[in-house]
Amino acid sequence: MVTKDTQNYTFLTEEHLMIQGAARDFAQNEIAPIAAEFDESGEFPMQTIKKMGQMGFMGIEVPEEYGGAGMDTLAYVLALEEICKADASHGTIMSVNNSLFCHGILKFGTEEQKHKYVGGVARGEKIGAYSLTEPMSGSDAGTMKSRAVKNGDGYVINGRKSWVTSGPVADYILVFTMTDAERGHNGISAFLIDGDTPGLIRGKKEPKLGIRASATSELVFEDCRVPASALLGKEGEGFKIAMTVLDAGRIGIASQALGIAEAAYAASVGYVREREAFGQPIGQFQGTAFKIADMKTRIEAARALIHNAALAKMRAKDSGERYTLEASMAKLFASETAMFVAHHAVQIHGGMGYSKELPVERYFRDAKITEIYEGTSEIQRMVIARMETGLR
Ligand code: CAA
């Protein structure tokens, strides 16, 4: 079921439409057929992730000189949306590699760090992860308990990180930890850590409601020694790096949410045309028709906010301005749209919406995480209101 989507966006170039088409074909041919199986088993889809890397989807905005596709944020959101129409788990892995890992290193890393860490991840040969959250600090990210203590020419890290996307399999991890607890936010530093560093232990894998093929785990640091060259940016800059990178990440999660919403919507339009009750297609009942209208309208509003945020990020490349507001609005609205649309999609499908025989129940389970990770809806509202009022 193809629904009218990006035709009105005249700022999209041939190149944008090309990557959108390539991602759509790949997603429908290679990912959609295996999505239910990987959701059921919870296995990490390494093979398709590697193929996505070969297609350039793991480093869309990474300049070619660092091994990426050298495209812009619009290309990224279009491709990610298509992947997520087929499977949000693949989308999560893609989004972390692109925006939380590669983007952070390109923005804050030294030449040496860029050359060492970005290429493999952008080509899908390596998996990147971003580790901010801890068991007792999620939304209040500035209150983390893990510590990195200077020792000789390096640091020794101790503590427990949680909810790390791709944690069980990541080759490289961007970790945020306290180097000077007395300075609060300004005492947090960012480190780039190789996955095989002694003292870095993969902790419990989370048994999740949705995005089950995207592996999420704790990471435990026990006297984990890293060299001074592992520092990303300067000591004490970690919180701002984490927040800056999350601004980019949130645009990705908004696109993921849009992809899930579109898949749930397309299934619903097909179903209301065909399924009959009381002598007519159920789409002719006003109660169903109004649901379809609201689903479509919210999807298109989410798309507009996402394109707006992508354009703001592209402008920021030259101006250096923040696009926090645009990113948070896109993530807030798109994720709540995904949940709204998936909820209606299940209801429209009735019993079939509740069955694993159709993907609609998976869309419903996958949609929920978009309102939680990379900043809950409540955090997005807080960010938006603070930016608008200047009040805290
Ligand atoms: N860009 C740059 N700087 C920023 C920033 C941004 N987006 N947001 C805040 N800052 C700066 C502020 O300007 C401030 O700087 P000064 O000290 O110089 O004034 C500093 O950072 C501290 O900011 P706040 O006082 O606003 O900090 P806060 O403690 O009130 O928290 C918050 C702000 C927005 C609530 C933040 O804590 C937050 O975003 N929390 C949610 C965390 C989150 O999204 N976690 C998800 C982790 S990733 C994940 O989900 C798993 C995965 O693997 C994908």
Whether 374 is a known active-site residue: answer: yes
User: What is the arithmetic mean of pLDDT over 83-102?
Assistant: 98
**What is the predicted pLDDT for the residue at 6?**
58
Q: Which residue has the higher pLDDT, 4 or 65?
A: 65
User: Buried b / exposed e across 204-229, counting CB within 10 Å, b at 16+?
Assistant: eebebebbbbbbbbbbbbeebbbeee
Q: How confident is the model at residue 2 (pLDDT cuts 50, 70, 90)?
A: very low
Please identify which of the residues 206, 218, 361, 374 carries the catalytic annotation.
374
- Among candidate residues 128, 22, 29, the one with its CA nearest the CA of residue 81: 22
Does 173 score more than 70 pLDDT? yes
Q: How far is the CA of 246 from the centre of ligand 1 (A)?
A: 8
E-state strands within 112-186:
128-131, 147-151, 154-165, 172-178
Domain 129-236 has CATH 2.40.110.10: yes
Distance of CA 11 to the CA centre of its chain: 24
Q: How far is the CA of 242 from the centre of ligand 1 (A)?
A: 7
**Ligand 1 atom index nearest CA of 373:** 50
Residue type, 87: D
Domain ranges of the chain: 14-126, 129-236, 239-389
Ligand 1: lining residues by beta carbon, under 6 Å? 96, 100, 130, 132-133, 139, 141-142, 163-165, 185, 239-240, 243-244, 246-247, 322, 324, 373-375, 379, 382-383
* Residues in the chain, overall count: 392
**Ligand 1 atom index nearest CA of 216:** 53
- pLDDT by residue (tens digit) across 120-146? 999 999 999 999 999 999 999 999 999
Q: Are 301 and 309 in contact (CB under 8 A)?
A: no
Domain 14-126 CATH (choose: 1.10.540.10, 3.40.47.10, 1.10.3720.10, 3.30.110.60): 1.10.540.10
Does 228 score more than 70 pLDDT? yes
- pLDDT by residue (tens digit) across 336-371? 999 999 999 999 999 999 999 999 999 999 999 999
Does 75 score more than 90 pLDDT? yes
Q: How far is the CA of 141 from the centre of ligand 1 (A)?
A: 7
Total-model pTM:
0.98
| CATH H-level, domain 239-389: superfamily | Butyryl-CoA Dehydrogenase, subunit A, domain 3 (1.20.140.10)
